[in-house]
Structure 1
């Protein structure tokens, strides 16, 4: 998705503004199981459906916190956080992350992104900070709120 008038030279105009909201994404048990296999985090609250239904506090399995966090980058890219005239946008880190509400298996989530700050670093590099709010469909509180950092490299893609 493209954000109207959102370019390297206009980034400052967008500070304090919402850039957009992604489409909904289903966090199903297959995704949770794949994340567990990839990371080695096989805690029962995530992967043992029967035990989680029987003994867990959420009535079933929940997604790993880091799984929900890992969704932010692709959902922010879907919104268009990297301007089209940037040659690259690189993950630079996180300033603050708070996990607020567990994401139950089968829930749908989406990312609401606001541009928080823009800092020109020289050499065509621009550090941007965005506030990401991962909303859960039907829930009052979000799954998480994270301040992500990205280093943009000015210039047209070749």
Structure 2
């Protein structure tokens, strides 16, 4: 679901408002395994289903905290955090992250996004602070909450003209 009437020109009107909720995403064991291969984090609690079932307090394997954190950006973009009049949205940092509930292999998660603040930096650059709540289907508490920062870069006149000529606007 894309946010309506949301652009760099109107972004201040959205401060303090929920921007939307992403679709559900399944965190299956193959995604967890792939993340482990990419990062080198091969701790048994993520990869060894039999041992995790026997020894883990969670009764099975769980997703890496940083895997769940890495989902925030694409799920926020799915709901339209980056307005259409922006040429680029760049990760700018994190102000607060708390991992609250483990995500078991096979669970579904989604991101609830609220715009916290907007800081104009000049030159068509804006830093937005967003509260992300990664919810776990059926859980009372979110997997994580995180305040993320993104730098939005406005399209300049040359980019807008080229897009118009190409029929994109």
TM-score, normalised with respect to structure 1: 0.98
SS of the residue corresponding to residue 23 of structure 2 reads coil
**Rg larger in 1 or in 2?**
2
SS in structure 1 at match of 2:57:
coil
- Is it true that 1:29 corresponds to 2:29 in the alignment? yes
Deviation, 1:2, is 2.7
| Equivalent position of 1:84 in the other structure | 84
Residue of structure 2 equivalent to 1:101: 101
Query: In the aligned structure 1, how far is the partner of 2:85 from the partner of 2:65?
Result: 33
Structure-1 residue corresponding to 2:18? 18
Partner residue in 1 for 2:54: 54
Q: In structure 2, what is the Cα distance between the partners aligned to 1:98 and 1:106?
A: 22
Q: Distance in 1 between matches of 2:30 and 2:88?
A: 31
Report the equivalent of 1:115: 115
Aligned positions, number: 158
Report the CA distance between 1:84 and its aligned residue. Answer: 0.5
Moved over 2 A (4+): none
Q: Which runs of 5+ in 1 are unaligned?
A: none
Q: Say what the alpha-carbon RMSD is for the aligned residues.
A: 0.9
1:26-48 CA-partner distances (Å, limit 9, x unpaired):
00100000000000000000000
Please list the CA deviations of residues 81-103 of structure 1 after superposition, one character each: whole Å capped at 9, or x if unmatched.
00000111111011000000000
Partner Cα distance (2:123, 2:53) in 1: 54
Aligned mates of 1:94, 1:17 — CA distance in 2: 19
Q: Distance in 1 between matches of 2:151 and 2:94?
A: 12
